[in-house]
A and B are shown apart, each in its own frame.
Chain A
Amino acid sequence: MSSPSRARRRALLVGVGGLGCPAAIALARAGVGTLGLCDDDVVERSNLHRQILFRDADVGSSKLACAARALREWAPEVDTRVHEGRLLPGGAVDLVGQYDVVLEGSDNFATKFLAADACALAGVPVVHASAVRWIGTALAVGRGGAPCYRCLFEDLPRDGAPNCAEAGVMGPVVGLIGAAQADLALALLDELPAAAGQLVTFDGRTGEFRRRGIRARADCALCGRRARIRSIEAHAYAAPESTGAARCAANDAGCAS
Chain B
Amino acid sequence: METIVRIPTPLRTLTGGADEVSASGNTVGDVIEDLERRHPGIRERLLDDKGVRRFVNIYVGEEDVRFLDGLKTALKAGDQISIVPAIAGG
- Interface flag for A120 (CB, 8 Å): no
Give min CB distance, A49 to chain B, whole Å: 13
Q: Given the complex, which residues of B lie within 8 Å of A36, measured CB to CB?
A: none
The reply to whether A203 and B19 form a contact with Cβ atoms under 8 Å apart is: yes
Q: Given the complex, which residues of B lie within 8 Å of A174, measured CB to CB?
A: 90
- Interface flag for A167 (CB, 8 Å): yes
Closest to A217 in B: B66
Q: Is the interface of A mostly helix, strand, loop or mixed?
A: loop
Highest count of chain A CB atoms <10 Å: which of B10, B13, B64, B87: B87
User: How does the 8 Å CB contact mask read for A14-50 relative to B, with 1 for contact and 0 for none?
Assistant: 0101111000000000000000000000000000000
Q: Is the interface of B mostly helix, strand, loop or mixed?
A: mixed
Which A residues, 143 to 161, have Cβ-Cβ distances below 8 Å to chain B?
A: 152-155, 157, 160-161
Q: Given the complex, which residues of A lie within 8 Å of B89, measured CB to CB?
A: 107, 130-132, 164, 167, 169, 248, 250, 255-256
Which B residues, 71 to 90, have Cβ-Cβ distances below 8 Å to chain A?
A: 82, 84-90
The reply to whether B64 and A214 form a contact with Cβ atoms under 8 Å apart is: yes
Give min CB distance, A69 to chain B, whole Å: 21
The reply to whether B62 and A137 form a contact with Cβ atoms under 8 Å apart is: no
Q: What is the total number of residues of chain A having a CB less than 8 Å from a CB of chain B?
A: 54
CA distance in complex: A139, B65 (Å): 18
Q: Given the complex, which residues of A lie within 8 Å of B67, measured CB to CB?
A: 215
- B residues adjacent to A (C-beta < 8 A): 8-11, 13, 19, 44-45, 53-57, 59, 62, 64, 66-67, 82, 84-90
Given A162-B10, A217-B66, A248-B88, 10 other A-B residues pairs in contact with their CB atoms under 8 A: A106-B88, A107-B90, A109-B86, A130-B86, A155-B54, A163-B87, A163-B88, A167-B9, A247-B88, A255-B89
* 15 intermolecular pairs with C-beta atoms under 8 Å apart: A15-B90, A20-B90, A108-B88, A152-B84, A152-B86, A153-B57, A161-B86, A162-B86, A163-B87, A178-B90, A201-B84, A203-B8, A213-B62, A248-B87, A257-B90
- A residues adjacent to B (C-beta < 8 A): 15, 17-20, 105-109, 112, 129-137, 152-155, 157, 160-164, 166-167, 169, 174, 177-178, 199, 201, 203, 205-206, 210, 212-215, 217, 246-248, 250, 255-257
